[in-house]
Chains A and B, each alone.
Chain A
C-alpha cells in the first residue's frame, strides 16, 4: 500500500535551534498535511499544503509541498520547549480517496531548555 517515509525518527535539540524534518513517498499525493501530537492528545493540524511547490508558513513553522508531489518538509525556527511532541506528516491522493489519510511514522522532538 501507499507509505510515507518520515525522517528523522527522533531529534534532541537545544532551545533556540532550528529543526527540519521531511517526508517522502514513492506515490504521488495531492495534499500534504503536518500534524503535531502532544502526550495524551490527538494530532492537531499545523499546516495544510494543496499545491505542488507551495510554501506555507504558520508562525515559526514553514512547510513545503514538493514539486514532484512525492515529498514535503517541515521546518521549525527558533525552537521553544513547548515544541516538544510528535510531528506527523500525512497525505492524501484526493479525488475518490474519500478523505483517507496516510500517515508517516512520526518524528519525536525533544527540546532541551
Chain B
C-alpha cells in the first residue's frame, strides 16, 4: 500500500496546454508539499499545505496553482505549460510543519512539455 502516491507517473503534453498532477497520502500526515526536480537533479520546494492551508508558496509562476481538498490530498494544476516546466515533480508529506521531520516522498511525475 503506497504511502504517498502520485498520478500520472509520466505526462507528455504540448506547450500551452493545462494539466494536473494528483497526490494522495495515507500516512495520516498533516503537511504536504510539492517539489520540483530539474534536469540537474536539484530539488526545490514549490508549495506546502498544512491541514488544507497554504503555508509555503515559493517564487513560483502564477500558472502553478495547488489545491488541497483535504489533508490527505494535494493536487497541482499548471496552466499554459511552457518548455521550461519540463521536470520531475515530487509530492511529499510529513507529520507536521512544526518540528524537524523528514518527509516521505512520492515516486514523482515526469512532465515533458514539447
Task: Give a binary string over A29-46; 1 marks a CB under 8 Å from any B CB, 0 the rest.
Answer: 011010101001111110
Contact indicator B48/A99 (Cβ below 8 Å)? yes
**Inter-chain contacts of A99 with B (CB < 8 A):** 31, 33, 48, 56, 94, 96-98, 101, 103
Contacting residue for B99 out of A42, A86, A94, CB 8 A? A94
Contact indicator B103/A40 (Cβ below 8 Å)? no
Q: Interface residue tally of chain A, by bracket?
A: 20 to 34
Contact indicator A31/B44 (Cβ below 8 Å)? no
B66 within 8 A of A: no
Tell me whether A45 and B103 are in contact in the complex, defined as CB-CB below 8 angstroms, given that A100-B48, A103-B44, A106-B42 are known contacts: yes
Contacting residue for B105 out of A42, A50, A108, CB 8 A? A42
Q: How far is the CA of A40 from the CA of B37 in the complex (A)?
A: 12
B68 within 8 A of A: no
**Inter-chain contacts of B100 with A (CB < 8 A):** 30-31, 48, 50, 92, 94
**Inter-chain contacts of A88 with B (CB < 8 A):** 43
Q: How far is the CA of A45 from the CA of B105 in the complex (A)?
A: 9
Q: How far is the CA of A37 from the CA of B105 in the complex (A)?
A: 10
Q: Which residues of B contact A (CB under 8 A)?
A: 4, 31, 33, 40-45, 48, 50, 55-56, 90, 92, 94, 96-108
Q: What are 12 A-B interface contacts by the 8 Å CB criterion? A: A40-B107, A43-B43, A44-B105, A45-B103, A48-B101, A50-B100, A98-B48, A99-B94, A99-B96, A99-B97, A100-B45, A103-B44
Q: Which residues of A contact B (CB under 8 A)?
A: 30-31, 33, 35, 37, 40-45, 48, 50, 86, 88, 90, 92, 94, 98-101, 103, 105-106, 108
